[in-house]
Structure 1
Amino acid sequence: MTTLSKSKEEMLDPSSTDMRLPSWSTPGSCAALSEVIEAARCALPADVLDFLEGGAGEERSLRENQEAFRRWNFVPQVMSGRGMPDLSTSFLGIPLAMPVLTSPFGADGLFHPQGQCAVARANAAEAVASIVPEAGTYSFEAVAEAAPDAARIAQLHPMGSPENFVTMLHRIEKAGYHAVCITVDCPTAGWRERDLQDRFGSDITTMISGNYPSDGPNRPEDVFGQLFAHSGVVWSWVQLGDLMNETSLPWIAKGVITGADARAAVAAGADAVLVSNHGGRQLDGVPAALDQLPEVVSAVAGRVEVALDSGIRRGSDIVTALALGANVVVIGRLAAYGLAAGGESGVRRVHQLLRAEMLTVLTLLGAGGVAELGSSAVRANFVL
């Protein structure tokens, strides 16, 4: 566990990072996402890799997230007469070259010295959007400065002081963000046994202090203490909706997996819902996010946009999610693997490989673009 015993300055110094990549696996030479993942696994210390790959409890929901995609088959239309597929779309008014955003994974300096700054630069180059974490190694302002042309959404936790929450909304507006993502499924941290067994996290505060430096008015332990102390008040939809009136930015409710919660999010004023079980990292035993997607899509009935994360590991998974009603997907672990494998170039390679596979799948499906995808493109291979 030497990683967390290093100072923050050492961890953010590229020369101090133990990058044990295979000689063949520079990001640009990776021919498949599996090679990016292998390179990341070689680069990361064991406890950090467990932090990235692990889930809550027995990790049932973690496994189900990926297995859910295997429960759907594609239904191709051959000889379609269409040209090459168009992957471009938009989300909350943000133009995207393909329907992908990166998730607000925190403690990003553990994976690469440049953390979310590198992710944002990669996303700007590939014309996709970043969701930038509140509990990140770099501040919202620093990420914005690192990639001024990037499409950026800022993430916040609905907990702690309402006054600090509103202050952060104003900071986000001032920093030029396009939207806000509220993580509603994390009033406390999940029971993550890999991290507990690794004795991981005692010094992680240094990696989540970007927005709350120790010499500022709020310390990380003050803002995020509820996550680890298992104490505090869980906010209501009414309270969150009232506070979101303090900004004119559109906002996403992240962590919704039921139709009832989706309708509550819409009633609270959300402009989008993100169907997610936090990558299986919060409550073990909940259904796979993909399994819940049709229920949420039906519940919102076109009133707001719908995104999906949890379990996406390849381009064909993205196509499946879009066919089942998602407007876009959000990738977390894949982006973190790319970051660990090679910083900005590693994240770019992840996007390039996702794009190439999506183009292949859509062409073979006979679809002219992501806008044409619907439920007729997939068929369940299971009996409800």
Structure 2
Amino acid sequence: MQQPSAKFFNLLELEDLAAGLIARPAFDYIARGAGDEQTLRENRIAFSRVFVDQRILSGKTVQNLQTQVFGSQLRAPIMVGAMAAHGLVHPAAESETARGAAAYGTLLGVSTVATQNLEQIASASQGDKWFQCYLTRDSGFNRELLQRAKAAGYKAIVLTADVTVGGNREHDRRNALRLPTPGNFLGNDGCCRPLDLPFDSRIGLDSLEFVRMHSAGLPLIVKGVTTRADARAVLQHGVDAIHVSNHGGRQLDGSPAAFDSLQRVADEVRGQVPLLFDSGIRRGLDVFKAIAAGADLVAIGRPVLYGLALNGWQGVQAVLEQLEQELRIVMQLCGAATLADIRNTPLLHGASGSEPTG
């Protein structure tokens, strides 16, 4: 049964509200990170180490924030990132999230390990969707999924490269968490298909060509890039976009904050391809800083699931609208009327607000 909606004023307090609605094992699976959770914490703290160079008397007012990427028109440079198992928080699972993303006017990332299958989610809304691909050990199944994504109307493939093995998530083991079998792995009889499903630990740069070959010309985005060297390597292999992410602190604990990585990768990419970013976004100010640091589009993860738990598709829409509202306030106060103005806003580093960049 749908829980009554609860009002929230920012996405940080939204997490506390959701914690009262989501079963503890499921909430820990969503909210917690790997190992000692150093990276999980750093993903938030990193934003506080950077300051915005505020300009006044600009005579500007904020204009529309519309963004276009690979032919998709977005209301703002904010999308819903791919996440597993939306069914943990809402009975309509990813279909409900798809409705919320479409109602707001943005893209939805759909995970290989979603509760529902690619076709169910594709038919749930008219909004554009990207398929976030994990490569399993079963190359035939990988090929089938890529072909199904193309046939179902997905607009791009996001190859997630930082999950060659699951992260050390101790809370899930302590809670004896058992996730339902993902919809893509089920046959018509509702039973798990006989597939070699563990993640392929051997994926390499040649995997890019495999994905490209079997996705029939869809744009290819590589997710999990956090270093200049990897950015340079995937650019040399002709990827269409790069997604900077440390998987929300759920994979390699002890890796740098994703926002710190974004600034380094942006210096390497220098606008050659679109740059996406996730991990740690909770405020419109965070969105502003990410764009100023070089991101073209930010993806929102955990807060979307919290909104879904609170109020279904309307909760998802409310999360995205909250971020946009905060972003507009920051833009107006900084004299940034457009996304181009944000990109031209220097970021100041350190406690004294020195060392401008961007």
TM-score grouping bracket, smaller chain normalisation: over 0.9
Q: How does 1:179-328 map to 2 (within 5 A)?
A: 179-201=156-178, 204=179, 206=180, 208-215=181-188, 219=192, 222-226=195-199, 233-246=201-214, 247-328=216-297
| Deviation, structure 1 residue 268 | 2.6
| Deviation, structure 1 residue 178 | 0.8
Helix, strand or coil at the partner of 1:312:
coil
Deviations 1:70-100 (A, max 9, x none): 0111111111111223311122231111111
Helix, strand or coil at the partner of 2:345:
helix
| Deviation, structure 1 residue 238 | 1.6
Q: Provide the rounded CA distance (Å) in 2 between the counterparts of 1:106 and 1:93.
A: 26
In structure 1, give the amino acid aligned to 2:123. E
Distance 1:277 1:375, change over 3 A: farther
Aligned partner of 1:9 in structure 2 is none
Range moving further from structure 2, 295-304 or 166-175: 295-304
Distance 1:150 1:287, change over 3 A: same
Deviations 1:312-338 (A, max 9, x none): 111110000000000010111111111
Q: How does 1:41-190 map to 2 (within 5 A)?
A: 41-147=19-125, 149-190=126-167
Q: Provide the rounded CA distance (Å) in 1 between the counterparts of 2:239 and 2:191.
A: 27
| Deviation, structure 1 residue 223 | 4.7
Structure 1: gaps of 5 or more residues? 1-14, 227-231
| Deviation, structure 1 residue 215 | 5.0
C-alpha contact (below 8 Å) 2:141/2:195 kept by paired residues = no
Q: Provide the rounded CA distance (Å) in 2 between the counterparts of 1:243 and 1:351.
A: 30
Q: Provide the rounded CA distance (Å) in 1 between the counterparts of 2:258 and 2:73.
A: 25
Q: CA RMSD, aligned part only? A: 2.0
| Deviation, structure 1 residue 158 | 2.3
Q: Provide the rounded CA distance (Å) in 1 between the counterparts of 2:58 and 2:73.
A: 27
Helix, strand or coil at the partner of 2:222:
strand
Helix, strand or coil at the partner of 1:319:
helix
Q: Provide the rounded CA distance (Å) in 2 between the counterparts of 1:284 and 1:101.
A: 25
Helix, strand or coil at the partner of 1:224:
coil
| Deviation, structure 1 residue 220 | 6.6
Q: How does 1:356-367 map to 2 (within 5 A)?
A: 356-367=325-336
Structure 2: gaps of 5 or more residues? none
State whether structure 2 residue 8 is matched by structure 1 residue 30: yes
C-alpha contact (below 8 Å) 1:89/1:371 kept by paired residues = no
Helix, strand or coil at the partner of 1:146:
coil
Q: Provide the rounded CA distance (Å) in 2 between the counterparts of 1:36 and 1:79.
A: 35
In proportion to residue count, which structure has more helix? Answer: 1
Identity of aligned residues (%): 34
| Deviation, structure 1 residue 194 | 1.2
TM-score with structure 2 setting the length? 0.93
| Deviation, structure 1 residue 245 | 2.5
Deviations 1:184-230 (A, max 9, x none): 100110000111211212xx1x2x4211215579947835324xxxx
C-alpha contact (below 8 Å) 1:276/1:310 kept by paired residues = yes
In structure 1, give the amino acid aligned to 2:338. G
Helix, strand or coil at the partner of 1:373:
helix
Q: Provide the rounded CA distance (Å) in 1 between the counterparts of 2:348 and 2:189.
A: 53
TM-score with structure 1 setting the length? 0.87
| Deviation, structure 1 residue 65 | 0.4
In structure 1, give the amino acid aligned to 2:286. D
Q: Provide the rounded CA distance (Å) in 2 between the counterparts of 1:217 and 1:296.
A: 43
| Deviation, structure 1 residue 102 | 0.9
In structure 2, give the amino acid aligned to 1:213. L
| Deviation, structure 1 residue 162 | 2.1
Distance 1:300 1:353, change over 3 A: same
Distance 1:294 1:31, change over 3 A: closer
C-alpha contact (below 8 Å) 2:138/2:197 kept by paired residues = no
